[in-house]
């Protein structure tokens, strides 16, 4: 979330994405930052591993 905040502060229209999944019977939530559809601070497949909420937070 810090990366998203710093980018937005500089006027860069980054998106904070939040997703969830169930792994080994446990609920997990995860957040990552995207800019123009590219993942910045995670692996490129994060959107495949977590079901992202439709609403962006940025």
- Please give the chain's pLDDT, 58 residues, in tens: 999 999 999 999 999 999 999 999 999 999 999 999 999 999 999 999 999 998 655 5
* pLDDT value of residue 54: 85
Instruction: Return the number of other C-beta atoms located less than 10 Å from residue 6's C-beta.
Output: 12
* pLDDT value of residue 15: 93
* pLDDT value of residue 56: 53
Strand order across the beta sheet in which 51-52 lies: 38-39, 26-35, 15-23, 51-52
Q: What is the pTM of this model?
A: 0.84
The DSSP H or E segment spanning 4 is helix 2-9
């Amino acid at each position: 979330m810090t990366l998203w905040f710093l980018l937005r502060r500089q006027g860069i229209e980054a998106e904070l994405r939040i997703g969830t999944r169930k792994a080994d019977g446990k609920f997990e939530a995860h957040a990552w930052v995207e800019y123009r559809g590219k993942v910045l601070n995670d692996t490129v497949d994060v959107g495949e591993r977590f079901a992202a909420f439709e609403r962006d937070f940025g």
